[in-house]
Structures are given as structure tokens and as C-alpha cells.
């Protein structure tokens, strides 16, 4: 079986190298230094104070499921992002996640810009981050948080990227996939996610979050990611200690993602 994550990371490194050739890191730094104050909304605070803890994701496609959501007219792409993410915020999302990988997930950095410009809640850049360059891009696009995937970087890179993100005013969600990655968690990682989907094979196992709960630091905010489609599971995960629940496919494959989220949150509240 092809290891999809390895393929994605190899492509991402080539992609970032190309971006640096067109606009250097120093140019990005200069651009950020001359940009007016960028609003920051705490993802950690939002999840700690939320009754539902839903992180609603704008996700166009996935390597395993194909297109979940697309627009026939590329000229209206930004409008679609704006409509969906605003609907998510209105429906009660605690945080938004926006996938910006284009080759495998159909997203773009412009999707992130559109989302952050239209809402007043935390927006996380969900990306395969392999270079500090992408952190500066995220900040300039208005993100309040970024995702770091342990399986995509070394422990030293994780520490360095986390520190750089914090210096830029970005919170970090550190994503783990198995018990062997717990050592990636450092003193500055206050948000820790467990991805129930294996990014090598794309097989989903919701029990992974329950198994990993015993290994996670109690002082961090725990987030369960992927494969969640039942409000009842959210209640069980909350009882296990989780405070955030990243959901994308369940909402994006519906005709009305915002309404789908509202119905989901209503069901959670009834069960609590």
C-alpha cells in the first residue's frame, strides 16, 4: 500500500521550495512587519469555554473520498468559502479549520484569507507544515492557529516551529497519530490533537482517541480529529477528557454545511 503521507510531504517540500523562489522568507518577514495589526482569537480559550467544542472544517476534497464540496465556477470560489465559513460561525462553531493544500485536498491559501476576513472566531490553517515559511504565510493570511503534524516533522522541527509560531502570535495544534509520538509534546504545546485517521493508509479508528487519552498531559486541551459523525461519540469523548472535536467531511458532504453543523450542535447540547 502506498504511504500517502510520505507522498504528500515529499511534494510539500518541493512546493515550498518553489514558493521561496518566487517570494523569499525575508520578503515575507518584511511584508508582515509592515502589515497592520492582525486580529487574534485564542483557539485554546474558545475550546475551554465552549459547550460543544466543535472545530468546523472547510474541506473541499480528500485523497480517499475525492471531492466533497466544489463549485462549478472557479470565479465564485472565494464567495463559496465566505458563505460556508460564515454559516459555520453563525451555527455556533467554536473554531474554524481551513485546509490549504491544493494538490491533495483542493484548498488554497486564499481559502484561508477568505475565511479569516469574514468571521470573528479562531481560524486554524490546516496544512502539512514542513518549513517556517508556511507559518509566516498563515499569519499574513489572518490565521490565529496552525496545525503541526508530528508524523510529518522531526521532534526538533516540532519544537522550533512551535516556538516560531508562538513568536508570530499563532497557537499550535500538535497532531499525534500513535503512542510513539507522545514525546513530541513540549512545554509550549497546550493544544494536542489525536487524529483517528491514519494518514498513511487513511483508515479511521475512533477508538484511537480513547486509547491515547491515558497518555496525554492533563494540563493540555485535547482534541479528537477525523471520523466523527455521531453526536453521541462527542459526549463519550468529552467524558474521556476531550474538549475539541475537529469535523470536516460530515458537514462538507451535506447540501448545507452550516445547517448540518447547527443540527449537530443542537444534538450535542441535548445529550449533555
Which domains are present in the chain? 4-28+42-271 (3.20.20.70)
Three-class secondary structure of residue 6 per DSSP: helix
Clarify whether 59 is annotated catalytic: yes
Decide which of 82 and 130 is more confident: 130
Task: Convert the pLDDT of each residue in 42-62 to its tens digit.
Answer: 999 999 999 999 999 999 987
The catalytic residue among 15, 127, 171, 175 is: 175
Clarify whether 226 is annotated catalytic: yes
pLDDT of res. 77: 60
pLDDT of res. 64: 73
**Burial bucket for residue 245 (CB in 10 Å: 0-12, 13-18, 19+):** buried
pLDDT of res. 61: 86
pLDDT of res. 3: 81
Neighbours of 120 (CB within 10 A): 9
pLDDT of res. 179: 93
CB 84 within 8 A of CB 255: no
The catalytic residue among 44, 59, 139, 262 is: 59
The catalytic residue among 52, 195, 196, 224 is: 195
Kindly tell me if the per-residue pLDDT of 72 is higher than 50: no
Kindly tell me if the per-residue pLDDT of 202 is higher than 90: no
The tally of CA atoms less than 13 A away on the side-chain side of residue 61 is 14
Distances (CA, A) of 168 to 53, 74, 133, 172: 25, 32, 12, 11
Task: Give the span between the Cα atoms of 250 and 221, in whole angstroms.
Answer: 23
Task: Give the span between the Cα atoms of 186 and 10, in whole angstroms.
Answer: 26
CB 136 within 8 A of CB 35: no
| Strand spans (E) along the chain | 54-58, 61-62, 66-67, 95-99, 123-126, 145-149, 171-176, 191-195, 221-225, 242-247
Clarify whether 225 is annotated catalytic: yes
Nearest partner of 228 among 257, 207, 202, judged by Cα? 207
Clarify whether 73 is annotated catalytic: no
Task: Convert the pLDDT of each residue in 129-177 to its tens digit.
Answer: 999 999 999 999 999 999 999 999 999 999 999 999 999 999 999 999 9
**Burial bucket for residue 20 (CB in 10 Å: 0-12, 13-18, 19+):** middle
Query: And the C-alpha cell for 153?
Result: 516533522
Clarify whether 126 is annotated catalytic: yes
The catalytic residue among 126, 139, 208, 262 is: 126
pLDDT of res. 2: 55
The catalytic residue among 12, 44, 50, 57 is: 57
Query: And the C-alpha cell for 51?
Result: 459547550
Question: Quick one: pLDDT band at residue 70, thresholds 50, 70, 90?
Answer: low
Amino acid at each position: 500500500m502506498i504511504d500517502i503521507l510520505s507522498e504528500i510531504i515529499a511534494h510539500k517540500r518541493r512546493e515550498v521550495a518553489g514558493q521561496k523562489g518566487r517570494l523569499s522568507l525575508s520578503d515575507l518577514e518584511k511584508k508582515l512587519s509592515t502589515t497592520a495589526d492582525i486580529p487574534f482569537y485564542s483557539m485554546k480559550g474558545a475550546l475551554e469555554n465552549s459547550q460543544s467544542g466543535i472545530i468546523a472544517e472547510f474541506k473541499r476534497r480528500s485523497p480517499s473520498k475525492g471531492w466533497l464540496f466544489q463549485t462549478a465556477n472557479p470565479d465564485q470560489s472565494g464567495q463559496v468559502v465566505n458563505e460556508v465559513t460564515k454559516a459555520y460561525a453563525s451555527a455556533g462553531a467554536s473554531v474554524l479549520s481551513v485546509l490549504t493544500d491544493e494538490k491533495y485536498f483542493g484548498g488554497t491559501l486564499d481559502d484561508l484569507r477568505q475565511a479569516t476576513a469574514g468571521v470573528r472566531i479562531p481560524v486554524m490553517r490546516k496544512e502539512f507544515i514542513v518549513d517556517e515559511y508556511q507559518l509566516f504565510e498563515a499569519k499574513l493570511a489572518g490565521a490565529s492557529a496552525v496545525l503541526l503534524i508530528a508524523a510529518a516533522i522531526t521532534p526538533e522541527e516540532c519544537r522550533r516551529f512551535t516556538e516560531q509560531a508562538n513568536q508570530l502570535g499563532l497557537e499550535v495544534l500538535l497532531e499525534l497519530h500513535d503512542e510513539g509520538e507522545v514525546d513530541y509534546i513540549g512545554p509550549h504545546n497546550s493544544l494536542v490533537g489525536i487524529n483517528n485517521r491514519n494518514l498513511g493508509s487513511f483508515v479511521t479508528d475512533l477508538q484511537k482517541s480513547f486509547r491515547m487519552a491515558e497518555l496525554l498531559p492533563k494540563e493540555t486541551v485535547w482534541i479528537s480529529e477525523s471520523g466523527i459523525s455521531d453526536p453521541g461519540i462527542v459526549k463519550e469523548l468529552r467524558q474521556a477528557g476531550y474538549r475539541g472535536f475537529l469535523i470536516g467531511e460530515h458537514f462538507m458532504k451535506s447540501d448545507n454545511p452550516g445547517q448540518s453543523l447547527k443540527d449537530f450542535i443542537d444534538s450535542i447540547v441535548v445529550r449533555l
